[in-house]
Amino acid sequence: EADIYQTPRYLVIGTGKKITLECSQTMGHDKMYWYQQDPGMELHLIHYSYGVNSTEKGDLSSESTVSRIRTEHFPLTLESARPSHTSQYLCASSIGWRTGELFFGEGSRLTVL
């Protein structure tokens, strides 16, 4: 199994709360990604990072923010959670852009009431 970890796996939270989804990898990968996946739907890229101090927005607009202060750590933050943020968030990492395989975490399933 890949050495990429996400916490929490499941989170139920009220509207307006601030939440941070943690993602860590021990493979030394430069590239890291956050995907959003609704049940039965495809994955949509919401953030990615080339490396430390580099973050970019993906294709799907998201109110979340990310940071990359250390190579191994790529947390995602929602300052004020809303029910529309209810989804599964998948973190991934890779060595390179082209043929590099993406290694995924187990996902964080967020429910905002």
Partner 1 sequence: AQTVTQSQPEMSVQEAETVTLSCTYDTSESDYYLFWYKQPPSRQMILVIRQEAYKQQNATENRFSVNFQKAAKSFSLKISDSQLGDAAMYFCAYRGSGGSNYKLTFGKGTLLTVNP
Backbone phi and psi for residue 83, each to the nearest 5 degrees, phi listed first: -55, -30
Residues 60 to 89: which contact partner 1 by CB under 8 A? none
Among 11, 13, 43, 95, binds partner 1 (CB under 8 A): 43
Among 27, 101, 111, 113, binds partner 1 (CB under 8 A): 101
Residue 98 binds to partner 1 (criterion: CB under 8 A):
yes
Which phi-psi region, left, alpha or beta, contains residue 28 (left: φ > 0; alpha: ψ -120 to 50)?
left
Q: What is the DSSP secondary structure assignment for residue 29, as one 8-state letter?
A: -
Residue 105: in which H helix or E strand, if any? Answer: none
Q: Which residues bind partner 1 (CB under 8 A)?
A: 1-2, 4, 31, 40-43, 45, 48, 58-59, 90, 92, 97-99, 101-102, 104-107
